[in-house]
Amino acid sequence: MRLVLLGAPGAGKGTQAKMLIEKYRIPQISTGDILRKAVADGTPLGKEAKAIMERGELVPDKIVLGLVEERLKQDDCKSGYILDGFPRNTAQAEALDKMLNDLQMPLDSALSVDVPKDDLMKRLTGRRTCKSCQQMYNVYYSPSKKEGICDKCGGELFQREDDKEETIKRRLDVYDAQTAPLIEYYKKKGILKSVMGVGRIDEIFSKVCAVLEGK
């Protein structure tokens, strides 16, 4: 399976990707996760990306494309991959097509997870993530049993820097202006699939698998 996950911030791309990697045993390539790690490690790239991410804007294409290409060349991507949060604009999508063509591993599908705007703010302001195992929770929809502590590994939960209301608004605007047009881009290529991302997470996952398996 060679897949791009599309959807607004908070649509549940990361949540579904984590379940897909377990079922299909292929890696998730999340540009957001890679960039956040670079910020946390204080690398030169992380220093450049930090302020941009905190404003809710897109990191320059050149940086992101380099990261993705390096990751796709690793051996574990030979059996498939899930691109989560990439591409983010038409220039990235075109560069990705060329890259995948050169690597002879073209996309099978682009899956759009559709969620009404009104739900996204609550999902994002309520999101909490485990510092150790990256398990995700939501204080409104799926809280951990003990506040601030991961049920799975006992790690500390944190709130993302860009999950503040003002930054979320900017991220949603950036999505509408730059990323939403990719739905049409992949529709024209004939590989677009979509699911409604509202309801129980496991029910959405069943719909995702059915759509991807052509059922």
Rounded to a whole number of angstroms, the minimum distance from the CB of residue 9 to ligand AP5 is 3
- For the chain, how big is the Rg over CA atoms in Å? 17
Pick between residue 25 and residue 37 the one whose CB is nearest to ligand AP5: 37
Rounded to a whole number of angstroms, the minimum distance from the CB of residue 100 to ligand AP5 is 15
88 binds ligand AP5 (CB under 6 A): yes
DSSP class of residue 150? -
- 171 catalytic? Reply is yes
186 binds ligand AP5 (CB under 6 A): no
- The closest of 60, 28, 8 to 181, measured between CA atoms, is 8
Q: Of 2, 13, 123, 128, which one is the catalytic site residue?
A: 13
Report long-range pairs for 18-25 (Cβ below 8 Å, ≥24 apart): 18/134, 18/136, 19/201, 19/205, 20/82, 20/205, 20/208, 20/209, 21/82, 23/209, 24/80, 25/79
27 binds ligand AP5 (CB under 6 A): no
Choose one: 39-47, 81-89, 96-104, 181-189; the region binding ligand AP5 (CB under 6 A). 81-89
- 13 catalytic? Reply is yes
**Number of residues that make up the chain:** 215
- DSSP string of 38-107, one letter each residue: HHHHT-HHHHHHHHHHHHT-PPPHHHHHHHHHHHHTSGGGGG-EEEES---SHHHHHHHHHHHHHTT---
- 78 catalytic? Reply is no
Q: Of 36, 88, 123, 128, which one is the catalytic site residue?
A: 88
Binding mask 128-167 for ligand AP5 (x = CB under 6 A): --------x-x--xx-------------------x-----
Q: Of 160, 164, 187, 193, which one is the catalytic site residue?
A: 160
Q: What residues numbered 195-214 form the site for ligand AP5, per CB under 6 A?
A: 197, 201, 204
Phi-psi region of 196 (alpha: psi -120 to 50; beta: other; left: phi over 0): beta
Interface ranges with ligand AP5 (CB under 6 A) = 7, 9-15, 31-32, 35, 52-53, 56-59, 64, 85-86, 88, 92, 123-124, 126-127, 136, 138, 141-142, 162, 171, 197, 201, 204
